[in-house]
Structure 1
Amino acid sequence: MTLDKTLLDILACPQDHAPLKYDPAAAAGAGELACTGCDRVYPISDGIPVLLVDEARHATAKK
């Protein structure tokens, strides 16, 4: 699944408002969005980005 380029251009991290980098191969093909400013990675559930700080994981944390 891929996210629309226009959507990706306007999405930002809810924590620090930095741009997000899309990784479509992550999370067993479901994809995820990684913040370019902080260490948070946001999941994508059923094609919908879950941009809740409480749902994010830290990229440096063990999976």
Structure 2
Amino acid sequence: MKKENLSLLVCPMCRKNLQAKPEEENADKTEIISGNLYCEACQIYFPIENKIPNLLPPDMREF
């Protein structure tokens, strides 16, 4: 996920801004490879895996 696109994403539950919590980034730190997006209002984490954010509500995710 490109960091520049973070400003376009909102929480699907409450529509508030999300914060990036990267675990792995590319060398120039412009992309998040894995980590989470966090909604402070809902206190929900949305995973980022292989550069793709999963914005499904927690009860709709398959693990």
TM-score over 0.5 for the pair = yes
CA distance in 1 between partners of 2:36 and 2:12 (Å):
15
The residue aligned with 2:34 is 30
The residue aligned with 1:10 is 8
SS at match of 1:8: helix
Identity rate, percent:
33
Instruction: Tell me which of 52, 55, 59 is aligned to 1:48.
Output: 52
**Relative contact order: is structure 1 or structure 2 higher (C-alpha 8 Å, sep ≥ 6)?**
2
Give 1:49 deviation, angstroms: 0.3
Q: Which consecutive residues of structure 1, in runs of 5 or more, have no partner in the other structure? A: 56-63
* Largest Rg, 1 or 2: 2
Letter in 1 for 2:56: L
Work out the number of aligned pairs and report it: 51
Q: CA RMSD in A?
A: 1.8
Give 1:4 deviation, angstroms: 2.0
